[in-house]
Amino acid sequence: MNRKLKKINGKVVIITGASSGIGKALAFEFADNGALVVLAARRENELKKVEAEIKSRGGEAYAVKTDVKNIDDCKDLVDKTIEKYGKIDVLINNAGISMRANFEDLDLSVIKELMDTNFYGAVYCTKYALPYLLEQKGTLIAISSISGLAPLPGRTGYCASKYAIDGFFNTLRLENIKKGLNVLVVHPGFTSSNIRKTALNKLGLPQIETPRDEDKMMPSKEVARIIVKATLNRKRDLILTLQGKLTVWLYKNFPGMTDRIILHEMAKEPDSPF
Q: Cβ contacts of residue 70 below 8 Å, gap of 6+?
A: none
Phi, psi (5° rounding) for residue 68?
A: -65, -15
Give the side-chain half-sphere CA count within 13 A for 66.
34
Q: Residues 60-82: pLDDT tens digits? A: 999 999 999 999 999 999 999 99
Contact 140/183 with Cβ under 8 angstroms?
Answer: yes
Q: State residue 273's pLDDT score.
A: 73
Longest dimension (CA), the chain: 53
Q: State residue 2's pLDDT score.
A: 45
Q: State residue 169's pLDDT score.
A: 98
3-state class of 243 per DSSP? helix
**What region does 153 belong to: left with phi over 0, alpha with psi -120 to 50, or beta?**
beta
What is the chain's mean pLDDT, rounded?
A: 92
Domain boundaries, the chain: 3-242
Q: State residue 59's pLDDT score.
A: 97
Distance CA 66, CA 151 (A): 30
CATH of domain 3-242: 3.40.50.720
Query: Catalytic pick from 62, 85, 158, 163?
Result: 158
Q: State residue 1's pLDDT score.
A: 41
pTM (predicted TM-score): 0.92
Strands 90-93 and 12-16, by their bridges, are parallel
Q: State residue 211's pLDDT score.
A: 57
Q: Annotated catalytic, 158?
A: yes
Distance CA 207, CA 197 (A): 6
Please list the ranges in the chain whose pLDDT falls under 70: 1-6, 192-197, 208-216
